[in-house]
């Protein structure tokens, strides 16, 4: 049997009552919810969908310590890669991108602007058009990738730096770089 502990801090942060939290925990544990009448309140708060009753990403975030706004950003980021390339696995996995962005923001707080990251990714993706995206890195590898010597680098950080150094102008490399709309 799984145990889920509750704290006042969590309740305040997510703006839920103990009863609402218990209801959400039952859904998270895929049990039949024993409390009735909370569906509309929790749907209004964005924690569940009502037909069928299930947790939303925001609802899962309470139990997985995942920031809903970062998850939404990760989804938007990953879609940039999918829009222009049909390569299998090009979007990387959602959890891997999420975890790498958490590390990225710790290591490079100067590049924490999410619009800057989207612009960097879009610029990188567009730069690979000439090769028909043959050499395009997967979305999670663009954030961080280890080489054979286990040295971790970030192409994302490099592109963010270039954009900032160029005064937020387009990066050009023999006119191969053009940004795409994000």
Q: What is the model's pLDDT at position 1?
A: 52
Q: For the chain, which residues score pLDDT lower than 70?
A: 1-2, 85, 168-182
Q: What is the model's pLDDT at position 178?
A: 47
At 13, which helix (H) or strand (E)? helix 8-14
Q: What is the model's pLDDT at position 170?
A: 56
Q: What is the model's pLDDT at position 108?
A: 94
**Cα separation of 77 and 39, whole Å?**
32
What phi and psi, each to the nearest 5 degrees, are found at residue 163? -65, -45
Q: What is the model's pLDDT at position 169?
A: 62
pLDDT in tens, 29-40: 887 777 778 899
Q: What is the model's pLDDT at position 89?
A: 87
Q: Residue 116 corresponds to which tokens in the numbers above?
A: 């800057």
Alpha-carbon torsion, ordered 34, 35, 39, 40, to 10 deg: 170
Nearest to 104 by CA among 142, 138, 58, 57: 142
Alpha-carbon torsion, ordered 181, 118, 143, 82, to 10 deg: -40
Q: Quick one: DSSP state of residue 109?
A: G
pTM of the model: 0.64
């Amino acid at each position: 049997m799984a145990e889920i502990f509750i704290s006042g801090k969590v309740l305040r942060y997510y703006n839920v009552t103990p009863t609402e939290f218990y209801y959400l925990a039952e859904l998270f544990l895929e049990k039949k919810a024993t409390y009735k009448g909370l569906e509309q309140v929790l749907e209004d708060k964005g924690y569940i969908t009502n037909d069928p009753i299930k947790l939303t990403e925001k609802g899962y975030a309470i139990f997985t310590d995942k920031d809903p706004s970062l998850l939404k950003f990760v989804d938007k980021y990953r879609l940039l890669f999918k829009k222009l390339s049909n390569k299998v696995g090009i979007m990387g996995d959602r959890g891997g991108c999420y975890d790498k962005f958490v590390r990225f923001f710790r290591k490079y707080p100067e590049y924490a602007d999410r619009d800057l990251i989207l612009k960097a990714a879009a610029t990188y993706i567009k730069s690979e058009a000439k090769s028909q995206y043959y050499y395009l890195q997967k979305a999670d590898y663009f954030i961080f990738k280890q080489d054979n010597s286990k040295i971790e680098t970030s192409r994302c950080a490099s592109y963010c730096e270039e954009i900032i150094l160029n005064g937020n102008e387009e990066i050009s490399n023999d006119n191969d770089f053009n940004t795409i709309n994000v």
